[in-house]
Amino acid sequence: MKRTPVVFIHGAWLHALSWEPWVERFTSRGFRTFAPGWPGEGPVRDMREAPDTLGGLGLDALTDHYAAFVRSLDTAPVIVGHSVGGLIAQHLLAADLGCAAVAIAPAPINAIALPASFARLLSTAGSGPGRASVTLSPQVFQRVFANTVAVQEARRLHEQHVVPAPSRLLADLGCGAGGCSPHTAVDVANAARGPLLLVSGQEDRLVPDAATRAAFKQYGDTAAVTDLKQFADRAHSLVIDSGWRQVADHVLGWLHEQGVRAHTPGS
């Protein structure tokens, strides 16, 4: 039997290796797992030393990168994305490129407004005109990303996983004068798509629970399965902090409920 593939897509300010515990967890359950990095992504240390490495990367190129990867697989995968990755996961599912998708604290779709606080947080993080990337200091990371964990854990997470984010990508999400990229638009009416799970942290300051609930509401008129799971007392770091296993196991249980198995029957 073929093993069902799972593709993990990370979001802004995190490195692909942040998915390692998830990869191990899903692999142990029999899935065939992939956590491909963004185009041009290198080791954490190298990206910090050359923070503008991905400065020209926008949402269109990033979405196309993952669409090409998913198409290269011999079986339609489960697509699990966090933050910007959650937006891309929804886009790919709506395009019928996955058998199911999970969008965790997803960047807003279809003109759902980013919170006003987002722009202010970016300014405190060191963004500005002409800057190709936006960095998060340990202090800012704890305040806006890992605000529900202890200082020591937040510093460890920052050291292990945090890299600069491309300014162009953030502008494409609606942070710039040019407005949103067309790839923030998702076909929420596709009734033939696979099941979708939206996940939020109710203490998330970067992508508030309200934004995820607004996305869930947009799917209300489709017959396709769309579920929402809200985690109390969790921040944007819910996929990497000490509570990650609770989120991962909920995703595994939800996939089982949807009939998505680690092995494809009859193959």
Report whether pLDDT(123) > 60.
no
% of residues, the chain, pLDDT over 70:
90
Q: Which residue has the tokens 């910007």?
A: 84
Task: Work out whether the CA dihedral 220, 222, 223, 226 comes out positive or negative.
Answer: negative
Largest separation between any pair of C-alpha atoms in the chain: 56
- Structure confidence at residue 117 (pLDDT): 61
Mean pLDDT of the chain: 91
Tell me which residue of 243, 227, 224 sits closest to 235, measured CA to CA: 243
Amino acid letter, 192: A
Token pair recorded at residue 219: 């799917």
Q: How many residues does the chain have?
A: 267
CB atoms within 10 A of CB 177: 5
Q: What is the mean pLDDT of residues 202-213?
A: 94
Asked if 114 contacts 108 with a C-beta cutoff of 8 angstroms, the reply is yes
DSSP string, the chain: -PBPEEEEE--TTB-GGGGHHHHHHHHHTT-EEE----TT---HHHHHHSTTTTTT--HHHHHHHHHHHHHTSSSPPEEEEETHHHHHHHHHHHTT--SEEEEESPPP-TTPPPPHHHHHHHHHHT--TT-SEE---HHHHHHHTSTTS-HHHHHHHHHHHB--EEHHHHHHBTTSTT-B-GGG---TT-TTS--EEEEEETT-SSS-HHHHHHHHHHGGG-SS-EEEEEETT--GGGGTSTTHHHHHHHHHHHHHHTT--SB-TT-
Token pair recorded at residue 25: 């967890």
Give 126-158 pLDDT, tens digit per residue: 444 456 888 899 999 999 999 999 999 999 999
Report whether pLDDT(203) > 60.
yes
Give 211-238 pLDDT, tens digit per residue: 999 999 999 988 999 999 999 999 999 9
Q: Report the predicted TM-score, pTM, of the whole model to 2 decimal places.
A: 0.94
Q: Which residue has the tokens 């937006």?
A: 87
Report whether pLDDT(66) > 80.
yes
- Structure confidence at residue 23 (pLDDT): 98
Which pLDDT band, with edges at 50, 70 and 90, does 180 fall under? low
